[in-house]
């Protein structure tokens, strides 16, 4: 291979490649120039989610903040270039524990853990948890990832019905999902990975409309975006408590759903757009994603395939949030729940807490949605549990899924009624993920929004998702319940939030930052 002054040569997955030396990042070279979609873009150029992790001369690096120039002449290994036997073992280990759900975060995690394993049979739990500090996974709550790292030396077990497992995953995720070793290895079929190589790339322009380029780097340059930072602004409580005498009061603040795969959709001229929900439901947050319509319109306008993408900041600014609340309740279940005005919230709150009067309040802020995981009704369950002084069994008003939860001795325990489990591994994984999300929401998450409603926290680390090393042990007991399979993850989420709030002593403001 002859390298000119304007080219650079490196070795990728054992192959010498030469690409233009145009200042792109290593992730840009891998994905956009070489079409290698194993490394994912969850937050570039923030360098904070770990989804783009690759090995450079055997050491883990986040490719989105590594200039390609810096790896000139060096050996880069993506998930696809790992030893085939190691890939097989990792894929099966994640399948065996349910350690990968949407699978967007997992290739980066596997690359790092494989480097850490360094020829050993597996990776001890403490080491795995520390290694996961460099990653974010929103679906799994970490525990099943750590379990996967500890069972590489064991056969996967072949008695699972993966079609039934996928049905359970689809119920819990809210959209069709695949359960297969390849999902953990980066083959979840994400829109940003399946777009035609010649597709134009479109990103939102800060002044409205779309900036379009031949590559993501070019589109971002055309948008002239300046990346935001984590703000030092404190989070605020957007709503005031309703006046009255209450046995319990509760205020929540803005939080980010923080799904890892940013919205993406592509379309051919005259065609139908791909779905931004390829293998994950984004906890309800992508159901009304504007990207399919944008990809279709742009493809028709340009007469070429177009891949429309949000970056992390776009997701944070433009994506829907669960509406903050401020409420007061009495032990008999009566009370008032103020909630940021959101279509559909009044009905779901009435279904779980008929004694609460819902007072919808319009405040400046990002869009809100009742489609987000247990939005509104989980808050009503928490408030009523606090006023009554106990957490009853929680029943999901939409699905009938049931859950009870206990938080004590640094452990979260949940009992789950989901009808026919279909696949206990997958159901357990989704319940652990929902319990982690509730715990994280309760103890750590917030999003600073200013008085004009602009979101100030724009980096993925600023959302406050609880890390693996800080996650309590989560035990899941599956109740024997006859009947058809139903989604139970949202009931787990509400039950754990309520149990955690009671364990924290029912503080009137959500106990972000408190040790429980």
Which positions lie near ligand FES, rule CB under 6 A? 41-44, 46-52, 62, 64, 100-106, 137-140, 260, 280
Question: Which one, 179 or 356, has the nearer CB to ligand FES?
Answer: 179
CB of 101 to ligand FES, least distance (A): 4
Neighbour count for residue 331 (Cβ, 10 Å): 15
Find all residues with CB under 8 Å of 198, minimum gap 6, and list them. Answer: 304, 305
Find all residues with CB under 8 Å of 264, minimum gap 6, and list them. Answer: 190, 191, 192, 195, 274, 276, 291, 307, 308, 309, 310
Question: Which one, 50 or 335, has the nearer CB to ligand FES?
Answer: 50
CB of 135 to ligand FES, least distance (A): 8
Q: Where are the alpha helices (DSSP H) in 33-83?
A: none
Question: Which one, 260 or 352, has the nearer CB to ligand FES?
Answer: 260
Strands across the sheet containing 75-77: 15-20, 7-12, 75-77, 53-56, 59-62
Question: Which one, 239 or 460, has the nearer CB to ligand FES?
Answer: 460
Question: Which one, 106 or 275, has the nearer CB to ligand FES?
Answer: 106
CB of 143 to ligand FES, least distance (A): 12
Question: Which one, 183 or 356, has the nearer CB to ligand FES?
Answer: 183
Asked whether 398 and 490 are in contact (CB, 8 A), the reply is yes
d(CA 262, CA 259) in angstroms, rounded, equals 7
Neighbour count for residue 408 (Cβ, 10 Å): 11
Q: Which of 84, 157, 89 is nearest to 122 (CA)?
A: 89
d(CA 216, CA 32) in angstroms, rounded, equals 7
CB of 478 to ligand FES, least distance (A): 21
CB of 23 to ligand FES, least distance (A): 17
Distances (CA, A) of 364 to 169, 239, 462: 36, 11, 21
Q: Where does residue 243 rank: exposed (0-12), middle (13-18), buried (19+ CB within 10 A)?
A: exposed
CB of 114 to ligand FES, least distance (A): 17
CB of 147 to ligand FES, least distance (A): 14
CB of 39 to ligand FES, least distance (A): 8
Element (H, E) at 404: strand 402-408
Question: Which one, 50 or 273, has the nearer CB to ligand FES?
Answer: 50
d(CA 179, CA 107) in angstroms, rounded, equals 15
Asked whether 72 and 60 are in contact (CB, 8 A), the reply is no
Asked whether 266 and 216 are in contact (CB, 8 A), the reply is no
| Alpha-carbon dihedral sign for residues 64, 67, 70, 72 | positive
Question: Which one, 45 or 335, has the nearer CB to ligand FES?
Answer: 45
CB of 103 to ligand FES, least distance (A): 6
């Amino acid at each position: 291979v002859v390298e000119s002054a304007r080219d650079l040569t490196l070795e990728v997955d054992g192959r010498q490649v030469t690409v233009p030396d145009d200042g792109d990042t290593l992730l840009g070279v891998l994905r956009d120039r070489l079409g290698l979609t194993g490394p994912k873009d969850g937050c570039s150029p923030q360098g904070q989610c770990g989804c783009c992790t690759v090995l450079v001369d055997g050491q883990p690096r986040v490719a989105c903040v590594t200039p390609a120039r810096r790896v000139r002449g060096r050996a880069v290994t993506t998930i696809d270039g790992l030893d085939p036997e190691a890939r097989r073992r990792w894929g099966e280990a994640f399948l065996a524990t349910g350690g990968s759900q949407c699978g967007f975060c997992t290739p980066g995690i596997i690359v790092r853990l494989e480097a850490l394993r360094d020829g050993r049979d597996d990776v001890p739990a403490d080491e795995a948890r520390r290694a996961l500090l460099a990653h974010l996974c929103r679906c799994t709550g970490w525990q099943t990832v750590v379990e996967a790292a500890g069972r590489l030396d064991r056969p996967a077990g072949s008695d699972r019905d993966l079609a039934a497992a996928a049905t359970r995953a689809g119920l819990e995720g809210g959209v069709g999902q695949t359960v297969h070793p390849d999902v953990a290895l980066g083959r979840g079929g994400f829109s940003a990975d399946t777009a035609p190589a010649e597709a134009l790339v479109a990103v939102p322009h800060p002044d409205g409309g779309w900036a379009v380029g031949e590559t993501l780097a070019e589109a971002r340059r055309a948008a002239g975006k300046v990346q935001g930072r984590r703000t030092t602004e404190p989070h605020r409580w957007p709503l005031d408590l309703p006046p009255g005498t209450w046995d319990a009061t509760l205020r929540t603040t803005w939080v980010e759903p923080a799904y890892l795969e940013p919205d993406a959709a592509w379309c051919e001229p005259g065609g139908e757009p791909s779905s931004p929900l390829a293998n994950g439901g984004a906890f309800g947050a992508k159901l009304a994603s504007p990207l399919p319509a944008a990809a279709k319109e742009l493809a028709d306008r340009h007469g070429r395939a177009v891949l429309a993408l949000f970056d992390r900041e776009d997701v944070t600014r433009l994506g829907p949030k669960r509406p903050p609340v401020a409420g007061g309740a009495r032990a008999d279940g009566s009370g008032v729940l103020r909630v940021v005005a959101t279509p559909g919230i009044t009905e779901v709150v009435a279904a779980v807490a008929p004694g609460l009067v819902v007072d919808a309040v319009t405040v400046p802020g990002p869009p809100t949605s009742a489609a987000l995981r247990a939005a509104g009704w989980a808050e009503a369950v928490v408030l009523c549990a606090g006023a009554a002084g106990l957490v009853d069994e929680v029943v999901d008003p939409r699905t009938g899924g049931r859950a009870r939860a206990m938080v004590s001795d640094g452990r979260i325990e949940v009992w789950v009624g989901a009808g026919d489990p279909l696949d206990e591994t997958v159901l357990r994984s989704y319940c652990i993920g929902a319990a982690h999300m509730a715990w994280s929401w309760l103890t750590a998450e917030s999003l600073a929004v200013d008085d004009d409603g602009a979101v100030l926290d724009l980096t993925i680390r600023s959302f406050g998702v609880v890390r693996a090393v800080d996650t309590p042990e989560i035990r899941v007991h599956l109740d024997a319940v006859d009947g058809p399979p139903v989604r139970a993850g949202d009931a787990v989420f509400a039950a754990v939030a309520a149990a955690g709030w009671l364990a924290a002593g029912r503080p009137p403001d959500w106990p972000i930052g408190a040790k429980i």
